[in-house]
Amino acid sequence: MKDQNTPSKKEQMIWVLSDLSNLCAGIFDQNGGKLLINKASELSGIIPGTVDGSAPIAEFLKVDGKAASVVWGPAMNTSEESYTKDGTTYTGTVVNNLMYVTECLDPETKQPMYVIAVSGTNPVSVFGWFDEDFDVSSTQAWPPAFIDSGKAPNNSNLIAQGSYDGLEILWGLKDPKTQKSLFDFIGDKLNGTSTLEIATCGHSLGGALAPLVATALAEKRTADNKNAVTLSTYPSADPTSGNDGFAGHVIDMLGAENYLSRINTFDVVPHGWAQQDMNEVAALYANEKVWTYKLGDLGIKATPLNEGLVRWAVGQKQPGVDFTRMAGDISFSGTIDQFNWSYNWGIAVLILGNDEAKSALQSIVCNMTGQSPDDEDLRNYLTQLLGFAKQAGVQHTSVYPIDCYKLDLELRNALNIFVNVTSSSSEAKGEEEHIVGLLISKVVTYLKEHPLNKCSEQ
C-alpha cells in the first residue's frame, strides 16, 4: 500500500458525489416506493444547489464558474422487505442499488468529467447484505456475458457471485426519464474523440462495484482513443471483488494511474476477502484505547464472539479462490473513537435478557471454545462485541470525510443533511434488527456444522 497523502481537489469532488449516491440508505418506504423516488430525485437539485441547504455542495463542485449537473439517473433497484416484530408484520420498499452520472469540470485539466457514482450497502437491504456483500461462496469468470463485449469469459479472472449480481443489476438500470442504460448514455462519449474523463466511484459495496463498472466499460471500448478519453475508478472502503487474475486484469485495462482506492487500516470492510487481511479482523482494535471508564485494558480484545463471526465469514469463501486486492491502495488510519464500557455493558445485559438472543450467543461461544460460557463471561464477550461493532461502523463511515478526504466542516454538515445511513424510522430500525438476527442465525448454524471446538452441550 502507498503511504497516506493528501487527496487532490478532484478526489474530494468525486468522493462527495460518491457519498451522495447513498441518500436513500436507511429508508424503509411503506408508501409503495414513492418516498424513495422523491428522495432520489433530490439529487438533480442538490448538486447544482437549488435545494435548501445544498449551496456548500454546489459551490464545492463548481469549477471556473461552471456548476455540476446530473445528466443520467438516478436509477435504482429496489425490493420489498418484510419482518415480524411483536406479532405485527411490517412491509416496505428499500433500495438495493442506486447509480447516477454527474457532468462537471476536472478542477485540474478544466476538461469535461463524467462521474458515475454507485451506492454502498443499504443497512436495511437484505439483498445487499447477504447477496452482494456476503455471497463469495461461488465465482463467475470475467467478462460476464451480459455486458456484450464480444469477449469470451476467462476462467483465470474470477469475481465473487455477489459482485457479479451487483454489476448485472447496475448494467441493467435505466434512466427513469429517457429509459437509456448507462452504456446507452455513456458509450458514444467512451468511444468518441473529445478530451474527457469517465470516472466511477463508490464507497463500501459501491467501492467494490465501481471498478467493475469501469472495467466493463473498458471491455466495451472500441476506439483507439486512450489519449483523449481517460477511464478511471475511485473506490473507497472497498472489499475485494475477485481473485489475483481479476485484480491484475483491472489494472491492465484501466492503467495503474487510473485506479485510486483509499482505505482505512482500521476499517473491517477492506479486510474482506483476502485471507491474510481477514486474519487481522478479530483483534483489529486490541491495541487501541477504545474504552473509557473501564478498569484494566482499554482495547477491544478478540473474544469467542467476534472470532466466531470471522470464522463464519471466512467459511463463506469459495475454497481455492485467492481473493486479492488490486494494487495501488492508498491507506490511512482513522481516529479511534472512544466508548463508555459501563453503558455498553448495560446494553449487553438488556440483550441477554432475551432468551433467544442469549441462547444464540451461547451457542457461538460454545462452538468456538467447547464450553458454554457463564453469564458474566457472556456479558463481557458481548460488551466487547458491541464496542467492536460500533468502532467498525465509525471506521467505515464517519472517519473518511474527516481523516481521509479532509473535507471542511461546512461541507460535511451539508452532506449530512441529505445523506444519513442511520435508519430513518422505527420500522427501518426494526428491519436492521431483523437483518442482525438473520446474520446471527447464519453464524450459529455454520458454527454448529463447522465448530472450532465441538460444543460439549450439543
Which stretches of 316-374 are DSSP H helices? Answer: 341-352, 355-369
- pLDDT tens digit string along 27-86? 999 999 999 999 999 999 999 999 999 999 999 999 999 999 999 999 999 999 999 998
Which residue from 321, 297, 312, 290 is spatially nearest to 394, judged by alpha carbons?
290
Model pTM? 0.96
Kindly indicate the confidence band of residue 422, based on its pLDDT and cuts at 50, 70 and 90: low
Q: What is the pLDDT of residue 403?
A: 97
Torsion sign, CA atoms 18, 23, 28, 29: negative
DSSP 221: -
SS3 286: coil
Which residue from 216, 19, 198 is spatially nearest to 120, judged by alpha carbons?
19
The answer, yes or no, to whether residue 269 has pLDDT greater than 70, is yes
Percent of the chain residues topping a pLDDT of 70: 97
Kindly indicate the confidence band of residue 457, based on its pLDDT and cuts at 50, 70 and 90: low
SS3 358: helix
The answer, yes or no, to whether residue 424 has pLDDT greater than 70, is no
Q: Please, what is the Cα angle at 201 between 8 and 425, to 5 degrees?
A: 110
* Pair 48, 56: CB distance under 8 Å: no
List C-alpha distances in Å: 313 to 100, 192, 207, 220: 31, 44, 19, 34
- pLDDT tens digit string along 138-190? 999 999 999 999 999 999 999 999 999 999 999 999 999 999 999 999 999 99
Which residue from 432, 296, 447, 278 is spatially nearest to 362, judged by alpha carbons?
447
Rounded Cα distance between 183 and 201, Å, is 16
The answer, yes or no, to whether residue 346 has pLDDT greater than 80, is yes
- Our separate counts of H helices and E strands in the chain read 17, 11
The answer, yes or no, to whether residue 8 has pLDDT greater than 70, is yes
- pLDDT tens digit string along 319-336? 999 999 998 899 999 999
The answer, yes or no, to whether residue 1 has pLDDT greater than 90, is no
Q: What is the pLDDT of residue 173?
A: 98
Bond into 270 cis (ω within 30): no
Q: Indicate the helix (H) or strand (E) that contains 77.
A: strand 69-85
Q: What is the pLDDT of residue 380?
A: 94
Neighbours of 281 (CB within 10 A): 21
Q: Indicate the helix (H) or strand (E) that contains 198.
A: strand 196-203
Burial classification of residue 140, based on how many CB atoms lie within 10 Å of its CB (0-12 exposed, 13-18 middle, 19 or more buried):
buried
Rounded to 5 degrees, φ, ψ at 96 are -90, -45
Q: What is the pLDDT of residue 423?
A: 57
Q: C-alpha dihedral over 376, 379, 382, 388, to 10 degrees? A: -90
Neighbours of 245 (CB within 10 A): 16
Q: Assign 3-class secondary structure to 372-384.
A: CCCHHHHHHHHHH
* Pair 300, 388: CB distance under 8 Å: yes
Q: What CATH number matches the domain at 9-449, 3.40.50.1820, 3.40.1360.10, 1.10.3720.10, 3.30.200.20?
A: 3.40.50.1820
Bond into 143 cis (ω within 30): yes
* Pair 69, 102: CB distance under 8 Å: yes
The answer, yes or no, to whether residue 212 has pLDDT greater than 80, is yes
The answer, yes or no, to whether residue 4 has pLDDT greater than 70, is no
Beta-strand runs (E) in 204-269: 229-236, 262-264
**4 is written with which cell numbers?**
497516506
Bigger pLDDT: 112 vs 301: 112
Rounded Cα distance between 301 and 162, Å, is 31
Give 236's strand partners. 203, 262
Which residue from 113, 217, 213 is spatially nearest to 164, judged by alpha carbons?
213
Summary mean pLDDT of the chain:
94
